[in-house]
Structure 1
């Protein structure tokens, strides 16, 4: 890594720059990037899904959030990098203090206008440059080349032409002539396309332009559009290579083009300006409609979770029998769960790289086991497995925390587990008026921990896509989240946790579907339907810490899991499930 930093510093000196900012993201500014765009990992060694590095002539710092504190410390060299919490020490603040007034280079494809403005407002001179890392990244992987394929109406529930008309009407009513969509998930949803450009998220990496008349342009390599997809898109969608975007944008001279300055690379803002278009700041109009799953997508989510629940129960039954022997490792357990899912009808891929953490590794919120870190799963310890699957009718995400046995768990661990479970149940049981936002509900999941002076350093839940990203906006359960009202059809995770560094981690996650609540009154109320189907580890539950409503919920949930899944399990697995789902007072 030292040689890479030295090469970068030499390139900066040659351009008269005092430093350079390298974000984690690629030009789509998303959470996940292909290997060909993993510049931050190449430069620093840090592989988390959120972060940023700043390299100056004599100092360098790498930033991430509380999910990755331990990972950042383990993957980066303290002799080369100052490790910073991105919230406690914002990068622009660090630069303002460390190098006031410095000339800082940035890749305009990798930063939004809003982000660049933060650094400029801190008194820094921001200079757009071609990425100086690329010339000496000699072993850079080739960009992904998977085909973009149609997402059938049987799964999408609404035709692409109907979606284009719907979104075109939205932008027209707002006075725009077109919208430039820079999030590939928006193009995937709008045009009913899926792809294979990312390992766990079935999208084709592309930008899109939607005009007021509902015609569209998809900026993608034409080689990635097979005849089947071209026929699906029809004559109202034009395919243009990404390196020819400027020519297409030039046709928008004098037109009002909607663009989200928070999520679009500033290079596109510059290109629209060069084209003579009038840029209108506005949110991506596909975000909210995409989050509100239609009835077909809701039914698909239920079906996907039922299949996923069968795979999970087969894994959990196997784990309960095998873990006490001490013969498992973090990687072998995750591999077995992957095999269980792979045997499930319509399984396409894992929805993210599993978090399989035993003992102290479970306390690393986004721990990723590899050959170097893989450790045995010992008897009588806590094991955390956070995983999910991609199916054409839905995306799953589930976390279970398990006691390996054979002896009973300590009272302290049962206390912490049960408090996390109580918070999970409180959120799952919530009924709330229309207009309620995620930040308003976040405290429900934390209250049982707060009573004991405890908390966790991540959001309580995130939105989930429909055969798209496992992390989807615009809603989330987080005290700092944008206050977007919850609406019927949204799917969110419910995943409170507790982490004892160096000892164990606990997280319990189900996915929830927002539905109408049958409450008679002057106001409309909403509630949650739990989609995930898998038992919680009864050996870790202390019933004395649960109030009667929570006890009734967990017993009813377990009864539902058993009734739904048992008919499709083999007799030994079904017998295990019957015991795992028995009433807590039984």
Structure 2
């Protein structure tokens, strides 16, 4: 099972912790210290031991950082978290809109006379530090690597995670780790690299066909790996996590404690491949001029799922869709004013846990009704738990980690009679989601080239949303997986086998939120009748199946092609899910998927 404890901090706990940190900063002779939401593995999700940003500030979002100076402590958050951060941090902290405001320029504004700002080199990548230092050029401000000062003032900091690892069966992986290692070793040889250091947990877990339990909701085991051009691997992971796995790993995978990594790096002959965007600066500094900058060798192979991984994901989505339909049918039977957000979260998880293949939910379920729905990554607490009232919308964003696949699906549901402006916004979001689902595009394009398709109906009405249109998803791995994204900043070409979300939304602070999300896999597009086939094309195959709330749709706002797509999709939902649900839910499903 995954570790379920987490770091939480009430707003009033932030000021005394901030004062303690400032005392330590001054004792080090520094003008400031940077506290990122990161660990030494540079994954998106962190264990409780590494959740320093939440412990210090109270902010629990999955991205951001705090820059602590003598007179100001800026909490840098992107558009997803601007509503959330205001509710979670004390007035001693100043929310800063990021990336619109970059740290380098902010430091120059707040340290006009210069000063030394400390940072932990295990928690920052070379790319991040290079960007800050470039912005500081010409100022008298400098960055200095130092010990982690938060750790010094955190008296009850949790221990490092020690969850057991397990074998990921070949039936689900689709390729042995010996084959993966040999394939990637040939790529290193072709590039002239003697080895590659891999710090992202989902990368080396994928490479070695193992899964773990060090991060809640994400089945990864923490560690580091060095892949050699011979195909052998040095795995730096607590041996206790790998108890009983010697036969699976075999003689070409050599296990050592994580503390041995730097000593092993000292013995490597270069060039050694490092990913500038994911390796800790401490590793890069240890290698010096032996480092060769290139992408994580596991990133693209992991992103391009094989047939077994796609088949497993498709199967998991059908079972997951049935669980969601049971929840939606139950919810529709409840009168307005009776059900709370926590009721919805508990009921949905109970339906999912009827499946023995479920290992864990894939993230904390988002169930935000009314104004809470406008908080994009809302998570209900005792203090915020709200009742679903007549006229509310509720955003339900959830997923499961199954042995054969990872799911992530969002539906927005009307409670009672929804307001007309909410229905209009919902219809625009739906039109964008359908437009992306129907898209065919030339091979070689990246997410940045096509993501505007899903925003266009909102843009025409002067509306938009502050998150990406879609993210990559792993195969019983991280629910957020790179490098594939539907984002205006993504330059990775989309390739067959990549699984991504399609999730446009709209959020009106203080009123309601809307998001509709399906997962889709990139496929080679078949030829069209009468087409000249002068260019290879790609298209989407939808994996998620659950009804979209017809009560929120204004049909006159949709194009005929959109309505045709929706009716075909709902017919597929009825066919694929109908036999998997209870008789009562089947009656509800037939009505929910009736043609528009």
The TM tier, using the shorter chain, reads over 0.9
CA distance in 2, matches of 1:410, 1:379: 10
- Residue 379 of structure 1 and its aligned partner are, at CA, apart by 2.4
The answer for the alignment partner of 1:341 in structure 2 is 352
Aligned residue for 1:574, secondary structure, equals helix
Do residues 531 (structure 1) and 543 (structure 2) align? yes
Q: Which residue of 2 aligns with 1:357?
A: 368
Q: Indicate conservation of the 8 Å contact 2:319/2:580, yes or no.
A: no
1:442 to 448, 451, 460: 451
Match of 2:251 among 235, 243, 268: 235
Alpha-carbon displacement from aligned partner over 1:24-66 (angstroms, at most 9, x marks no partner)? 1111122110111111111111111001001112221111100
Match of 2:230 among 213, 216, 219: 213
Structure 2 CA distance for aligned equivalents of residues 134 and 247 of structure 1: 24
Q: Which runs of 4+ in 1 moved over 4 A?
A: none
User: Per the alignment, in what secondary structure is the counterpart of residue 333 of structure 2?
Assistant: helix
Deviations 1:170-222 (A, max 9, x none): 11111100000011111011000100001110000111000000000111111
1: CA distance, partners of 2:512 / 2:147? 44
Cα offsets for 1:512-557 (capped at 9, x unmatched): 1111111251211111011001000010111111111111100000
Which residue is 1:260 aligned to?
275
Structure 2 residue aligned with 1:118: 131
Find out whether 1:466 has 2:475 as its counterpart: yes
Aligned to 2:465: 456
1:416 correspondence with 2:433 = no
DSSP 3-state at the match of 1:105: strand
Distance 2:193 2:253 in 1: 19
1:162 is aligned to 2:179:
yes
Shift of 1:113: 1.1
CA separation in 1, counterparts of 2:207 and 2:87? 40
User: What SS does the corresponding residue of 2:272 show, helix, strand or coil?
Assistant: strand
> Are 2:82 and 1:73 aligned?
no
CA distance in 1 between counterparts of 2:279 and 2:262 reads 15
Determine whether 1:553 maps to 2:565: yes
Aligned residues of 1:307 and 1:345 also touching (Cα < 8 A)? no
1:366 aligns with 2:382: no
What TM-score does the superposition give when structure 1 sets the normalisation length? Answer: 0.97
Q: Distance in 1 between matches of 2:540 and 2:336?
A: 39
Deviation at 1:71, TM superposition (A): 0.8
1:510 maps to 518
1:19 pairs, out of 23, 29, 32, with: 32
- Once the two structures are TM-superposed, the CA of residue 451 in structure 1 deviates from its matched residue by 1.3
Unaligned runs of 5+ in 2: 1-13
Partner of 2:57: 44
- The SS at the match of 1:417 is helix
CA deviations over 1:546-570 (Å, ceiling 9, x no partner): 1111111000000000011111222
Q: The residue matched to 2:358 in structure 1 has which SS?
A: coil
1:96 aligns with 2:108: yes
Which residue does the alignment assign to 1:33? 46
Find the aligned partners of 2:553 and 2:356 in 1 and give their Cα distance. Answer: 33
Equivalent residues of 2:519, 2:543 under 8 A apart: yes
Distance in 2 (CA, whole Å) between partners of 1:77 and 1:242 is 37
* RMSD, matched Cα: 1.1
Residue 118 (structure 1) shift: 2.2
- Per the alignment, residue 388 of structure 1 pairs with 399
Deviations 1:237-258 (A, max 9, x none): 0001111112211221x42100
| Counterparts of 2:20 and 2:337, CA distance in 1 | 47
Q: Which residue of 2 aligns with 1:248?
A: 264
Corresponding position of 1:173: 190
The 8 Å contact of residues 362 and 499 in structure 1, kept in 2 or not, is answered as yes
SS where residue 133 of structure 1 aligns? helix
Structure 1 unpaired stretches of 5+: none
1:105 aligned to 2:126? no
